[in-house]
Amino acid sequence: MHPLRPILRPTPLLPYLRLPSTLRRNGTHQWRLNSGSATPNVNDLRPSFEAPPPPPPPKKPRSLFIYIWGTTFIFIGLAAGHVARSFVAPPPFPDPESREDRFRLEVLRRDIDSLDIVKALRAEGYHLHSDTALDESSKGKSGWRELDFPAILSDPSGTKLEDASQNISNDQILKPEITRTLTQKTMAGSGGLGIQRAFWNPLTRELIAVVFFGGRLSGWPGLAHGGAIATVLQDGLSRVVAGPDTILDSVPSPSSLSLSYARPTQANNFYVLRASISSRLDEQTLLPQSTPDSGKSWFPWSKNVTKSPVSSGTGPVVEVSGTIENMAGQVCVRAKAAFPASAVRG
C-alpha cells in the first residue's frame, strides 16, 4: 500500500528571486575562488587581476660629443652666411668727409706709414710738408722727394707752385680748389682711393707711389675695377710728364694708352705704382698701331686694352711706362702711354 503523498508541494522561490547585480558578481567571484580547479572562460572579457609589466630600462644619457658637433656646425653655418652676404652685398661705405670716414682714413694713414717701402723711401730722401717754404724745400737735398699732393694747386694755368707761392696764402695751399672731381671727389674717401704716398726722384725722373684701392671701387666683389686702375695709372704717368710741381690739369691727355692686366687687383689693399720715361720717339713711328710681337709683348694681345691714339700734331713724343705691383712685388698691371715731348715739365 502506497504511502499518501501530499497534494501540495512546496515550490522553491530562490530561482524566481532577482538578487542585486553586486551580490551576484560577488557570489560569482567567490565561487571562482572556492573552485580552484575550474577552467577559466576564454570568452570572459572582464578584467583579471594580473601582475603589472616590469618598467622599461632607463635611457642612456646622450654623449657630450653630439652637442659639441652641433654647436660647431651652427657656428660654421653662421660664419659662412656672413661671408657670403658680405661678398654678394657688402655693407655700404661711409660718405666722404663723414666722421666714420675720417676715422677709417686715420687707420689707413697709420697702416700706410708702417709699410717697409714707405719707411725705406723716406730714409733715402726728404719730405716736402705743406708748411715748408717752397723755395727752401729742395736746397741741399738729393734722392727721393716725398710729394704732398694736397698742397698741389688745381690751377688750370699750369703755374708752378714755387712761382705761385708769392701770390697765395697758406689757406689756399692747404685747401685748394678741386677741379679733378673724378679722383679728388668721386673716388675720394676710405672706400675709394683713400690715402697715398708718392715719391719723386728728380735725377731719374721716376715716380713711386703707394696707392690704395677701396671696396667702393670694386667692379666684381673683392676686385678693383679696371677703370679705376686705368685712372690711377694715367694720373701716375701724367705726373712723370708734369713733374713734381706742375698740376696735372695742364698736361694734355696721352695720345695713346695701353694696359695689360696680368693678375687680379684685390680691393681694400695697398699697391705700388712705378712710372718713368722709357724712351723718346717720333710720332710717326708711334701712332701706327699693330699687333705686338708675341715674343716681345708683356702679355698676350687678347689681354691688352689699348686706347685709340689721338693725334696731337706732328712732333716728337715721349713714351712713359708704368706698373702696379702688389706688396709682394708681383706685377698686376702694366701700362704704356705716349705724350707730346713739349708737355714735359721741370
User: What is the domain partition of the chain in residue ranges?
Assistant: 100-288+307-343
> Cα–Cα distance between 331 and 341 in angstroms, integer?
28
| Nearest-angstrom CA–CA distance, 229 and 235 | 10
User: How far are the Cα atoms of 137, 259, 284, 297 from residue 289, in angstroms, in the given order?
Assistant: 43, 14, 11, 14
For residue 35, CA distances in Å to 31, 47, 116, 238 come to: 6, 19, 109, 123
Q: What is the percentage of the chain residues whose pLDDT exceeds 70?
A: 56
What pLDDT, on the 0 to 100 scale, is given for residue 165?
39
Whole-structure pTM value: 0.60
Contact call for residues 253 and 308 (beta carbons, < 8 A): no
Indicate whether 208 pLDDT > 80.
yes
CATH topology assigned to domain 100-288+307-343:
Thiol Ester Dehydrase; Chain A (3.10.129)
More confident residue, 341 or 183: 341
Q: What does the DSSP 8-state code read for residue 202?
A: T
Q: Alpha-carbon distance 333 to 213, whole Å?
A: 14
- Tell me: pLDDT of 166 over 70: no
Helix (H) or strand (E) holding 236: helix 226-242
Cα–Cα distance measured from residue 270 to residue 330, given in angstroms and rounded to the nearest whole number: 13
* 261 in Cβ contact with 226 (< 8 Å): yes
The three three-digit cell numbers of residue 172, written as one number = 689756399
When the pLDDT of each residue in the chain is averaged and rounded to a whole number, the result is 70
The per-residue pLDDT for range 59-73, each reduced to its tens digit, is 777 677 777 888 888
Instruction: Please give the Cα distance from 205 to 200 (Å, whole number).
Output: 7
pLDDT of res. 69: 82
* Number of separate helices (H) and strands (E) present in the chain: 9, 11
What number is the average pLDDT over the span 203-232?
Answer: 87
In this predicted structure, which of 20-29, 49-58, 141-150 has the lowest mean pLDDT? 20-29
As a whole number of angstroms, the distance between CA 195 and CA 139 comes to 28
pLDDT at 45: 53
Q: Does 174 score more than 50 pLDDT?
A: no
Average pLDDT over residues 299-317: 52
Average pLDDT over residues 228-235: 90
pLDDT at 224 exceeding the cut of 60: yes
